Amino acid sequence: MADENSPISAHSSTPKPSRPDTTKSSPLASSGLAAELHMEAADVDANNESASSTTTTAPISAAAAALPLSYNNDAYSNAEVKGNSGERFGQVLKEMAAAGSLSFSDNKFHATSIQMRFNANKSFLHNCIELAGFAADKHDLRMLASKKDNNDQPIHEATIQTIAMRIERATHNKMLEFEGSLEQINKKERKPKTTFVTGLGTRIRHYKKRCWVAGGEQGKAYDTKILPLDELKALEIKSLAGTQEENKSIRAMFAAQK
């Protein structure tokens, strides 16, 4: 048996310090404060449950509420179309007429506004509308803009469609005439020129630039008025003749110096 006086025996018999009793009530638990906090937490939970059951959506701001529904629809359509590259001019005219965006007054045909879905190619569309006012029948232009017949009676949607396509055809035929491609009107080719707003509008822009150059490049090319083909050719011939006279003067000056 081990010696009671040995160090090992003395160490093993030393009692360990006792841990604090965690089962005793704390001052907070013994007071009424814990009960009060528990009751307040229950009230908060009840309020949150009531709010979640009665609240569905956040209130709409005044600025958002002021936006017309048509703006949202147009914005969505404009995002979906991706540039409007496949829009036929006649179909665009029909939609603009339905929206009341066309006007014919003082013998002039123009757009009073451009819907957002066509805004990506606005400059091309303005070119097409300008040539339509130059080329199409004035009676058709007036009916399409007003959506009324000669008796001032509303016309049906099918009639609006027919008029819009007739204006498209007249506009395209005039462009073919300007380009010297009138044979395309009565002849189908493998790759005929189309009546899409982007393509037709680009061709009209080129013709307007030609008119601008023949007129002495005054102002901006896009503001230049569309000229009849015979008038444009006369200006081009006159401009060319003037250049030849200037060349003759230059040659004479160099000849005199020799």
Q: What's the per-residue H, E or C state across the chain?
A: CCCCCCHHHHHHCCCCCCCCCCCCCCHHHHCCHHHHHHHHHHHHHHHHHHHHHHCCCCCCCHHHHHCCHHHHHHHHHHHHHCCCCCCEHHHHHHHHHHCCCEEEECCEEEECCCCHHHHHHHHHHHHHHHHHHHHCCHHHHHHHHHCECCCCCECCHHHHHHHHHHHHHHHHHHHHHHHCCHHHHCCCCCCCCCCEHHHHHHHHHHHHHHHHHHCCCCCCHHHCCCCCHHHHHHHHHHHHHHHHHHHHHHHHHHHHHC
Domain assignment of residue 215, given as a range: 82-227
Q: Within a domain: residue 27? A: no
pLDDT value for 245? 54
pLDDT value for 118? 86
Which is higher by pLDDT, 10 or 121?
Answer: 121
pTM: 0.60
pLDDT at residue 67 tops 70: no
Which is higher by pLDDT, 162 or 53?
Answer: 162
pLDDT at residue 60 tops 70: no
Q: Within a domain: residue 247? A: no
Q: Within a domain: residue 116? A: yes
Q: Within a domain: residue 38? A: no
Which is higher by pLDDT, 229 or 74?
Answer: 229
Mean pLDDT in residue range 41-69: 47
Q: Total structural domains in the chain?
A: 1
182 secondary structure, DSSP code: G
pLDDT value for 134? 96
In the chain, the percentage of residues whose pLDDT exceeds 70 is 56
Q: Within a domain: residue 90? A: yes
Question: Which is nearest to 200 in space by CA: 94, 124, 141, 136?
Answer: 124
Instruction: Please give the mean pLDDT across all residues of the chain.
Output: 73
pLDDT value for 37? 47
Structure tokens at 61: 């701001």
Q: Within a domain: residue 62? A: no
Q: Within a domain: residue 28? A: no
